[in-house]
Amino acid sequence: GIQVEQSPPDLILQEGANSTLRCNFSDSVNNLQWFHQNPWGQLINLFYIPSGTKQNGRLSATTVATERYSLLYISSSQTTDSGVYFCAVADNYGQNFVFGPGTRLSVLP
Amino acid sequence: NAGVTQTPKFQVLKTGQSMTLQCAQDMNHNSMYWYRQDPGMGLRLIYYSASEGTTDKGEVPNGYNVSRLNKREFSLRLESAAPSQTSVYFCASNSAGGPSYEQYFGPGTRLTVT
């Protein structure tokens, strides 16, 4: 099955700093999503981005499907950005979703 | 529009007890999923249902059964709970087959088996 890797595993930032999170996947996908799991455990949809680039406020994401990676950019980070960021992909049948291990982000005031 | 709802939010079981976790969605989605998340790890797929009347195993199905009761509801049953099933369980749904496969998650059920 598809393998998903995320880097870095942990990231500590000062408030206001920018960061880039990476997701690599081992096979062709037709679904890729980024999620934020907040400290209360809630999973929040950030982007549905099987290809291309999207922006939402301070966050943006780019997926290069032909090279099997996706990037999540966080600009001007805030303490409320803390939590774990997951990348999840599905194969060409679109049903069997595989999550990466996550990047744990801590933003310090 | 409540999205994806799960009950209960918390549950403590003794080894060998059984229980059913309930999930419902009001987004008219075709596909529904059950995941588990162990401490410090990502989510792993237990079972999914691509449409009403169908279910398929995911990565970690052993010890679980599921029922797709109708298009809205998808339940997960533990017949004989074991401490290894202590985890947080998430239900999700998406409109696979439509223009977007974006998944939406419920708030989770925190299960402890003693």
B101 CB within 8 Å of a chain A CB: yes
DSSP chain A: ---EEEE-SEEEEETT--EEEEEEESS--SEEEEEEE-TT--EEEEEE-SSEEEEETTEEEEEEGGGTEEEEEE-S--GGG-EEEEEEEE-TTS--EEE---EEEEEE-
B62, B10 in Cβ contact below 8 A?
no
Query: A91 pLDDT exceeds 80?
Result: no
Closest Cα to residue A62, out of A44, A79, A87?
Answer: A87
Query: How many other CB atoms are there within 10 angstroms of residue A48's CB atom?
Result: 16
A95 CB within 8 Å of a chain B CB: yes
What is the tens place of the pLDDT at every residue in B41-80? 889 999 999 888 899 999 899 999 999 989 999 999 999 9
What is the tens place of the pLDDT at every residue in A34-64? 999 998 899 999 999 999 999 999 999 999 9
Better pLDDT: B102 or A95: B102
Percent of chain A at pLDDT exceeding 90 = 83
A101 CB within 8 Å of a chain B CB: yes
The pLDDT confidence band at residue A31, using thresholds 50, 70 and 90, is confident
| Interface subset of B 28-67, CB within 8 angstroms of A | 31, 33, 35, 41-45, 48, 50, 56, 58-59
Name which of B103, B104, B110 is nearest A97 (Cβ-Cβ).
B103
Per DSSP, what are the bridge partners of residue A106?
A12
B108 CB within 8 Å of a chain A CB: yes
Chain B contacts of A42, Cβ < 8 Å? 107-108
Mutate to test the interface with B, among A2, A95, A98 (most CBs of B within 10 A): A95
